[in-house]
């Protein structure tokens, strides 16, 4: 079975002095490696600079963000994307399915 080759996107390549240093890198696909929306979300998350982000008024705003190809930030800890009708969050080993917990239903936990 063919698997997409993953590449390591190091935070040090995006930010010289990140405030959040863990994880130090993310395994992402070649297309995600060059995705400017993902880069800006990772820079915001690892610098804790959420100036360009706002709390959504409704869940529709979260899905509008996904529809534009951008990424939301969940609880100021995870980058979240929407792929194949699934919300996925990024961790060091790649994208994982977003667990449906009570926290996911609180709009105040999201930044778009």
Q: ∠7-104-99 over CA atoms, to 5°? A: 50
Question: What residues pair up with 100 in beta bridges, in sequence order?
Answer: none
79 close to 90: Cβ distance less than 8 angstroms: yes
Element (H, E) at 79: strand 78-83
Q: pTM, whole model, 2 decimals?
A: 0.89
Give the pLDDT band (50/70/90) at residue 1.
low
Q: What is the mean pLDDT of residues 82-89?
A: 92
Tell me the per-residue pLDDT of 89-111, one tens digit each, with 9 for 90 and over.
999 999 999 998 999 999 999 99
Q: Is 32 exposed, middle or buried (0-12, 13-18, 19+ CB in 10 A)?
A: buried
- Give, for 105, the enclosing helix (H) or strand (E): none
Q: What is the mean pLDDT of residues 65-89?
A: 94
3-state class of 59 per DSSP?
A: helix
Provide the pLDDT for residue 3: 65
What dihedral do alpha carbons 49, 99, 108, 53 form, nearest 10°?
Answer: 30
Rounded Cα gap, residues 70 and 12, in angstroms: 22
Instruction: Kindly report, residue by residue over 11-49, the tens digit of the pLDDT.
Output: 999 999 999 889 999 999 998 999 999 999 999 999 999
């Amino acid at each position: 079975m063919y698997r997409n080759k993953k590449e390591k996107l190091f935070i040090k390549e995006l930010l010289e002095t990140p405030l959040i240093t863990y994880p130090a890198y993310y395994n992402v696909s070649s297309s995600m490696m060059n995705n400017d929306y993902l880069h800006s979300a990772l820079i915001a998350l690892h610098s804790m600079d959420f100036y360009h982000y706002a709390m959504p008024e409704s869940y529709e705003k979260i899905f509008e963000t996904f529809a534009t190809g951008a990424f939301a930030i969940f609880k100021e800890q995870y980058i979240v994307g929407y792929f194949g009708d699934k919300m996925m969050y990024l961790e060091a080993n790649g994208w994982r399915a977003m667990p449906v917990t009570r926290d996911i239903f609180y709009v105040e936990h999201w930044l778009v």
